[in-house]
Amino acid sequence: MLDRETTPESADQADLLDREWITPSEAVAALAKVYGNRAVAKDALADLLLDGQLKARAERSWFSDEEYLVHAWRDRENVNPDENVELTQRDWMDSEDWFNDLNRWRWPQARFVLTHVESPRQWRFLTGVTLAVKDVSKAIDLAVRAVSTSKGGPNPDVARWARFWMAAVQLAQEDKLVRTRLQSKGQLYNELKERDPTTFSRRAVDSWIDMLWDRFVESS
């Protein structure tokens, strides 16, 4: 762990460690102090959820077959939700529209939504979401080290981009950039991330995922 007497970010961690669970908004605020950007902090936390490195739970969880999200949310009083649900990596990986789902999340309200089935549409709502302090604290430690390493040294993103494109080349060489092997852009991203777990967030590489999909997969 970092020196709590000299590191401001670690002082925040000391406060967090007095609790077992915190709200998504609190986690974003703590991580944003390291990255200096709330959007980057949200992406980092979302990646940890998807990677199974951040435990979460929801006070209420339910599904809706309403086609439109606004109608599905309005119908929330007429559902019989599961309560106090422990969320696993599989819950996040079940999203069939991960990138767009992230844009639908309401961090201050601790309200997340997932596209459980894209067609015909089925939504999954998660409210009263909380995140495990232990895992958030680890994320802060790693972020502090990454930021400290990058200051005054070579840009670590250069190496990450090199690994990203090497993973794409490997997929092509293995004849996996084809429709018979990939069913969605989310699956393409997961294949790349499997080859390099340190790759960028889905949001950061979305335009390149689109390019790979349109140029290779869609035309195969």
Q: What is the pLDDT of residues 22-62, one digit of tens each?
A: 999 999 988 888 888 888 889 999 999 998 999 999 999 99
Higher pLDDT, 211 or 126: 126
Q: What is the mean pLDDT of residues 162-178?
A: 83
Contact yes or no for 43/107 (Cβ under 8 A): no
> Quick one: angle between helices 38-50 and 24-35, nearest 10?
120
CB within 8 Å of 43: residues ≥ 6 apart: 102, 201, 203, 204
Share of the chain above pLDDT 70, in %: 85
Q: How confident is the model at residue 203 (pLDDT cuts 50, 70, 90)?
A: confident
Torsion angle of C-alpha atoms 98, 101, 106, 112, degrees rounded to 10: -70
Q: How confident is the model at residue 148 (pLDDT cuts 50, 70, 90)?
A: low
What sign does the CA torsion over 157, 158, 160, 161 have? positive
Q: How confident is the model at residue 149 (pLDDT cuts 50, 70, 90)?
A: low
10-24, 68-82, 184-198: which range is least confident on average?
A: 10-24
CA distance 93 to 189: 12
112-116, 149-153, 181-185: which range is least confident on average?
A: 149-153
Contact yes or no for 199/191 (Cβ under 8 A): no
Domain ranges of the chain: 8-133, 154-217
CA distance 9 to 16: 11
Q: Is the pLDDT confidence value at 159 over 80?
A: no
Longest CA pairwise span in the chain (Å): 57
Contact yes or no for 49/43 (Cβ under 8 A): no
Higher pLDDT, 133 or 197: 133
CA 206 to chain CA mean position, Å: 13
Mean pLDDT in the chain?
83
Q: Is the pLDDT confidence value at 83 over 90?
A: yes
Peptide bond into 120 cis (omega under 30): yes
CA distance 21 to 31: 15
What three-state secondary structure class fits 62? Answer: strand
Give the strand pairing for 122-127 and 111-117: antiparallel
Q: Is the pLDDT confidence value at 194 over 60?
A: yes
pLDDT of residue 68: 92
